[in-house]
Amino acid sequence: MLKCDVFGKCGGCTYLDIDYDLQLKNKTEEILKVIKDSMIEIKNYEGVLSSPLKYYYRNKMEYSFGNEIKDGPLTIGLRGRGKFYDVYSAKTCKIAPTDFGKIIEFSEKFFKDISFRNYRKHTGYLRHLVMRKGFKTNEILLNISTSSEDYHSYVEKWANEVLNLELEGKIVSIYHTITDAKSTVVKPDELRKLYGKDFFEEEILGIKFKVGPFSFLQTNTLGSEVLYSKVLDYIDENAKTGFDLYCGAGTITLLMAKKLEKVIGIEIVKEAVEAAKENAKNNKTDNVEFYLGDAKDVVKQLDEKLDTIVVDPPRAGLHKNVIDFILENKFENVVYVSCNPSNFARDMIYLKEIYEIEKFVFVDMFPHTKHLESVAKLRKKK
């Protein structure tokens, strides 16, 4: 097992000191108990599929500017476990690519005299540094978030100099997000591209994707190939058409399109829908359509009759409108991808009105943390 300098303080990992097989055993037992306590029956439990990479597996990290101790030196890293203000350096993080650590080390030195955000007083310039990397392409996208104070020349100088670092990957895009929001969310009032392309590229199961600074992509690229392979496996062989709700940049949609005659993807983020359409075009996939909007609203407007639906909702789970849509349409095949077992169990309480869990599997997308993804194949009750 690899050691980390700030394990136990940083909020990034919780199980780094536990044998990996034991991690999986503990996580699956805990989640299965949540489902069992909700009186949900699983007909065929297929166990847990491990992550291909156990360390350095994340393709995206969102770091905060701050310090570990009051009035201490600038630190770029992750907030402490159960803490809102303390930030612990992620230079030697064991779940992020080593390139990210090198960029942090350089950036901490470069910005050491520049103020960082104080979320009590809502003052300070530096807010976040988001890094994303294509594991198949080795392309890196950086997005630095600051307030609107006029220190932007420092960010521009940093963008020029960070390109000179010796990295395993290659920085292909640098963005500057400007916001004075009181929350810690990286959401722009203004977005400036400082260098390179509008996106970085990644490849999943033979399909190439362009990923922008705010596009959704599963944070474990190699793990997502395991996850999506299982999603495709859970779609019936005789299925012809399908919905992909919460489709992001169209990852699952385009993979479904290899198996089905027609697929419709729905996504609330405009940038992601634009990326999904471009990804479809670049992969010469013409049997897909994408709708922009909140899934709970869009499904109320659709009159398409398709036989399959795949849902991969955020942690909040399915909105009641989406559950009603599934129940009203009585899809032959429902595949539910979940990152939150409690809300999955909650949704199944409603869906079990006409559906049962025919197959169920876990996929470990987040080694050394308490989280697991699950994939459930739902079948209409006889």
4 is catalytic: no
Q: What is the pLDDT of residues 228-256, one digit of tens each?
A: 999 999 999 999 999 999 998 899 999 99
- Mean pLDDT check: name the lowest of 10-14, 33-37, 282-286, 344-348: 10-14
Sheet strands side by side (includes 75-79): 87-89, 75-79, 60-66, 126-133, 139-146, 170-178, 190-196
Instruction: Give the confidence band of 227 by pLDDT, cuts at 50, 70, 90.
Output: very high
Residues of the chain with pLDDT > 70: what percent? 99
> Could you tell me the sign of the dihedral formed by the alpha carbons of 216, 219, 221, 227, in that order?
negative
Total count of residues recorded for the chain: 382
- Does 185 score more than 90 pLDDT? no
Q: What is the pLDDT of residues 79-122, one digit of tens each?
A: 887 666 789 999 999 999 999 999 999 999 999 999 999 888 88
Block residue for tokens 């596009």: 215
Mean per-residue pLDDT, 170-196:
92
Crossing angle of helices 20-37 and 341-351, rounded to 10°? 30
- Mean pLDDT check: name the lowest of 6-15, 30-39, 128-137, 253-262: 6-15
Per-residue pLDDT, 174: 98
Residues of the chain with pLDDT > 90: what percent? 76
**Phi/psi-derived region of residue 2, left when phi > 0, alpha when psi is between -120 and 50, beta in every other case:** beta
Instruction: Give the confidence band of 271 by pLDDT, cuts at 50, 70, 90.
Output: confident
The C-alpha atoms of residue 122 and residue 129 are separated, in whole angstroms, by: 18
The C-alpha atoms of residue 312 and residue 245 are separated, in whole angstroms, by: 7
Mean per-residue pLDDT, 69-83:
85
List of domains in the chain: 20-53+205-380 (3.40.50.150), 60-202 (2.40.50.1070)
- Does 139 score more than 80 pLDDT? yes
Give 139's Cβ-side CA count (13 Å radius).
20
Mean per-residue pLDDT, 32-56:
94
- Does 329 score more than 80 pLDDT? yes
Of 13, 93, 247, 339, the catalytic one is: 339
Mean per-residue pLDDT, 144-148:
96
DSSP-assigned states of every residue in 293-310 = S-HHHHHHH-----SEEE
